[in-house]
Amino acid sequence: MNIGVLTGGGDCPGLNAVIRAVVRKAEKGGDRVLGFRDAWKGFLGNDYVQLTTDNVRGLLPRGGTILGTTRGSPYDVGDGIERTRRQFANLNLGALVVIGGNGSLTVGSRLYAEAGLPIVGVPKTIDNDIVGTDVSFGFQTAVQVATDAIDRLHTTAESHDRVMVVEVMGRDAGWIALMAGTAGGATVILVPERPFDLGRVCEHIERRHARGRFASIVVVAEGARPLPGTPPDMDYAKDQFGRDRLGGISAAIAPLIEERTGYDVRVVQIGHIQRGGTPTAYDRVLATRFGLAAVDAVAARDFGKMVVLRGATIERVPMALTQGNTRTIDLSLYDEVESVFFG
Ligand code: F6P
């Protein structure tokens, strides 16, 4: 059988490890793997490469995706669905493995449900916001990178008696902020799920100073928002898909904290460093298990499903679970971290 594979959405450490596992397992079963370049763009444009054990050698530790990635889909193109169907037929594709986040998995589930196409999903995102899986690969690497940065920032903050406002990724869910902030001993953590009051943020920092601790780390997820009607007023530009072009909440709150508290404040935006580079061992293993399980799903002709981690087990659940859903943080953990560690 010919099995297609593509990587869609933002890149993420571990994508190449999934590709490698798909190729290795498919070849063992006598199947041929075609890798489409730049996601659906390459699929519709007939831009692909045959992937073999030879050309996926050395991929396990490599960040990014050798296939390239973009954010569009067949639904953005006039006759996209018909062209997708034709491409399955022309290339004699028995299945397509879509490795992507909420956007790509939603597209995959619609193509399965609306066009009957044999698609299997693999959930990826550093944001960890995909419903159905306990963890997506790439997340653990991003948390480690952010935690390493926070550890480093502690020492310089302490040397200068400064407040460091550290911005991490997390558009709709504050998983990276909550986990890296907890691991790094942050004074305050701000997440999209809990609109913040800057007055309270300043109180936490001031309480800490009153105890003789003159350096503080404030971790803020890029998607965090103030309570309605309170500062700062964030007005984001839109990207080509109409989404807020996030980034900058740290720079917006830092001068306000400085003004209210009188403390010296600096801003660090970790940005795409969280998404680049080699995956941790945990993510390499999870990505490998997902890749192997995706080929099992294809062999079982269990289409319209994505492979997920539940507890310690890899399972399959409908990709449709992702449609319009976001897996947000565990608020009880956030509340406990707030009540015990903030300030
Ligand atoms: O999808 C994950 C994510 O890392 C979000 O947290 C972030 O908003 C977005 O990607 C930014 O991606 P890009 O810069 O590629 O548009």
Index of the ligand 1 atom closest to the CA of residue 9: 1
- CA nearest 146: which of 89, 110, 184? 184
Predicted local confidence at residue 241, as pLDDT = 85
Q: What is the mean pLDDT of each run of 10 residues along the chain (343 residues)?
A: 98 98 98 98 98 97 98 95 98 98 97 98 98 98 98 98 98 98 98 98 97 97 97 94 94 98 98 98 98 98 98 98 96 98 97
User: Atom of ligand 1 at shortest distance to CA of 169?
Assistant: 6
Q: Whose CA is nearest to atom 1 of ligand 1?
A: 10
As given in the structure block, the two tokens for residue 285 are 């293993």
The preferred substitution site among 139, 168, 171 for testing ligand 1, maximizing ligand atoms within 8 Å of CB, is 171
How buried is 228 (Cβ within 10 angstroms: 0-12 exposed, 13-18 middle, 19+ buried)? exposed
**Any ligand 1 atom below 6 A from CB of 223:** no
Q: Distances from the Cα of 313 to the Cαs of 21, 286, 307, 310, 316, in angstroms?
A: 17, 11, 10, 5, 10
Kindly give the interhelix angle for 249-261 and 198-210, rounded to the nearest 10 degrees. 50
Among the listed residues 11, 31, 38, 127, the single catalytic one is 127
Q: Going by CA atoms, what residue is nearest to atom 16 of ligand 1?
A: 10
CB atoms within 10 A of CB 326: 15
Please compute, for residue 109, the number of CA atoms within 13 A of its CA located in the half-sphere on the CB side: 20
pTM over 0.95: yes
Q: Which of 298, 306, 311 is nearest to 325 (CA)?
A: 306
Q: Active site includes 127?
A: yes
Is the CB of 125 within 6 Å of ligand 1?
yes
pLDDT score for 240: 87
- Closest C-alpha to ligand 1, atom 15: 10
176 lines ligand 1 (CB under 6 A): no
Ligand 1 centre to CA of 104 (Å) is 14
- Cα–Cα distance for residue pair 148/151, rounded to 1 Å: 5
CB of 10 sitting under 6 A from ligand 1: yes
Give the distance (Å) from ligand 1 centre to CA of residue 2. 31
Domains by residue range for the chain, with CATH: 2-138+279-322 (3.40.50.450), 140-276 (3.40.50.460)
